[in-house]
Amino acid sequence: MRDAPTLSAAVEAAALGKGGKSRHNVASLAVPATLTVAGILFLPLLMLFRISFNQYDRYDLMIETFTLSNYTEILTDSFYRSVLLRTFEVAVLSTAVTLALAFPVAYFVARAPARWKSLLIILTIFPLFVGNMVRAAGWMAIMGNQGFLNQILLKMGLIGTPIEILYTPSAVFVGIVAVVLPFMILSLQSVIEGIDPNLELAASNLGAGPLMTFRHVILPLALPGVLAGTVLVFILCMNAYAMPVLLGGPRFHVMAPQVYQQITGQSNWPFGGALAFILMMTTLILTFVSTSVIQRQYRP
């Protein structure tokens, strides 16, 4: 009987040792994948960050040095400040419109019968199978002066001459919202599906109307999905390229096409790298501020 505690302690120690060793093995197996992902994601960014401090030369293309002139020029140039401001305006408005459109659709999908839910989710993600350039070309066919929309309005007698839709800010907003809408719907749907419908029924029994139930029950509980969808969509809108270029035309300037133009069009890697990092830091700062405001506003 005296050996029982000793035997029990030995078994427990062996189990703990085995568990610790198992956790150590799992962590060791994760190291190669973690290093690979870190290399793929961060190594190119670090290289571009270093390049952004070099100096552009017309003949040698790039001179190895360390200067802040690229960043100074971007921040002091009124053109690039206006481009950054327009990028921010497009991203904020597109994100707000996307959230307003996606919430009812996400709620409908989340509360749909099980036999229809898979089909609705497939229909939601189906546009993602088509590239942004192809979708932009489709919107050009719809919104052009001789496009589908103008032809319908002319035949109905609502307009006498084609209206200018393409190459306007409105066309860019429509195109961007169409691209990012599935991401917002999926982010919201997964969270709304986890909200107990009995909570809405209880709020209704206590006299709350649909709007009050949405504001005090659904929205606070769906806040994780709202934050995730808003952050994802805002980042995508800040870095939109195809829609502003194809639907906005050459006079509509936002940051992502400017980065592409500097690096690919003019081979000015230092200036293009500086533009890219200003865009990235602005996106990160605005994302942090917006998520903090939303959390304080709707925290249950």
- 90-119 residue pLDDT tens: 999 999 999 999 999 999 999 988 888 889
> To which CATH superfamily is domain 69-298 assigned?
MetI-like (1.10.3720.10)
For residues 41 and 177, the model is more confident at: 177
Residue range 47-56: mean pLDDT, rounded: 89
- 111-157 residue pLDDT tens: 988 888 889 999 999 988 888 888 888 899 898 888 888 889 888 88
pLDDT at 19 over 60: no
| Residue 51 near residue 62, CB atoms below 8 Å | yes
Pick from 86, 96, 132: which is nearest to 230 by CA?
Answer: 96
Number of other CB atoms surrounding residue 212 within 10 Å: 13
| Residue 171 near residue 138, CB atoms below 8 Å | no
Where do runs of H (alpha helix) occur along the chain? 3-51, 69-76, 78-110, 114-125, 132-143, 148-155, 169-192, 197-205, 210-213, 219-221, 223-238, 242-248, 255-260, 269-298
pLDDT at 297 over 70: no
For residues 3 and 27, the model is more confident at: 27
